[in-house]
Amino acid sequence: MIKRKNKFMYQRIRQKKLRRKRAIKLALNALILITLASGTFSIMGGVKTNEVIASDNLNTNNEIDKEENIPIHKDTDIIKSSNITYGGEKYSVPAKKVQEIVNGSSIDENKYVFLTFDDGPSPNTEKVLDILKEKDVKATFFVLGQNLENNTSSQELLKRAIKEGNAIGNHSYSHNLKKLYPNNKINIDAFMDEINRTNNLLKNILGDDFDTKLIRMPGGYNSRQYYNDPFLPAFNDNLNKNNIVSIDWNALNGDAEGKNYSTQDMLNYAIKTSENKNQIVILMHDTYGKEKTAQMLPNLIDYYKNHGYEFKTIQS
């Protein structure tokens, strides 16, 4: 009887152990299934695992980096391979179109005036820039390389000019007519050397984004035509090959004629040579000794404004 009772107790204990093992096994299996299901659900787009969340954070950071790497240009930044800034672009007209204006072949009827200044920078340039800023108009400056080299004040004026929305052109390095036009004939190699030398100076001062294909020949391109320069066709080929545009003028204030004009005389001269023109490219100078040009400039600007002209610059 005792043996049978002990046997019964042993069987019950054994069954409990088996049930416990079975329960533990089921619990472990359930846990594994839940874990697997969770991983699958995250892959299918549901609840995200830590790995997926970490991956998403990296992607988000990449998107932010991409957004931060998008160039944001300031108005004072120079447009790459150009002679103007982003802020000055709205005032600019392509050089080829301005060339058509000077040549009389433009069919544009808009009233534009291009204030152009040669032979700077100089202390007089600062006065001109002050007036342009006060009157809220822009101009194009054809500069000489020799006035910029090793001259910090001139270099700062150049930087100011372009930052304030004005355009920059190349007027050679020396303006030495005997060197550039020996025997009144253009020396193409000497001329192009001076253009390149000045361009390199401009880049060094204004940065690699700056580039100008805009030139004004000392004495003017029209002087080469007037004297029937035999080397002009070859010079034209050189300009075309290098995408360089030479711009003259169709009006002037007479400040380079060597006469003792008063400021009123200069104003009258400019008005007279501008008559009956919808598009005006006016020649003036901002070099040493041209203080009267700066003095007459406010009245000239007011005259053009009162006659409905927009002030434009020349973009290369």
Beta carbons within 8 Å of 113's beta carbon, 6+ residues apart: 274, 279, 280, 282, 304, 309, 310, 311, 312
Tens digits of pLDDT across the chain (316 residues): 444 444 444 455 555 555 665 666 666 665 555 554 554 434 344 444 444 333 343 333 434 445 556 678 999 999 999 999 999 999 999 999 999 999 999 988 899 999 999 999 999 999 999 999 999 999 999 999 999 999 999 999 999 999 999 999 999 999 999 999 999 999 999 999 999 999 999 999 999 999 999 999 999 999 999 999 999 999 999 999 999 999 999 999 999 999 999 999 999 999 999 999 999 999 999 999 999 999 999 999 999 999 999 999 999 9
CATH class of 89-315: alpha beta
Place of tokens 């003792």: 260
Instruction: List the domain boundaries for the chain.
Output: 2-69, 89-315
